[in-house]
Structure 1
Amino acid sequence: MFKNGIILIINKLIFMLRRILQIILSKKQFKKIKKESKEWFLKCPDCDYFKSIWDRGGIRFGANSKKKKEFGHCPKCKKRKLLDVIKK
């Protein structure tokens, strides 16, 4: 129960950050961040579920990583695990 509350708070903070960026940045800059965030995906290594970081509510801009993993929840497996971060 406590962990779910923390996750909800973090999700709201990320949403607020996206909204603040949308307000303070030019439309062109915000579109660039959105476009790049949609090119990054979280992929489950077990069931091959994947979804863009943007569509999951996140932001990933100016990043360049290989073999990065992020702890998250796979809605298909219904488990918390390390998800692969990949760029398409």
Structure 2
Amino acid sequence: MTEIVVDDCRACEPVTRLVNQLLEKGFVIVEKRIEDYHFHQLYLKLQGNLTLVDSYSVDGFARVENTFICNCHWSSLEVTNSVNTVYFC
């Protein structure tokens, strides 16, 4: 499992687990930053095939449209469609 670290701030286990699941599905991290260093609150933006996470529900997260919010540190993982990618059904 790839550890997620942003400016010496380690992501919690639920965020690390979800990011690794998305990376395995072909998503890539395009942005990451610390929202609140004191609370270890992170923001990560990942791009990939959104149809792979349409009905995705993950324990330890609230989902608001295409953003997963961690219940323990309020870290946000925004997932977006890859640019220049066409998906055929």
Q: Same fold (TM over 0.5)?
A: no
Higher normalized helix content (fraction of residues)? 1
Higher normalized strand content (fraction of residues)? 2
Which of 1 and 2 has greater Rg?
A: 1
TM-score after normalising by structure 1:
0.28
TM-score after normalising by structure 2:
0.28
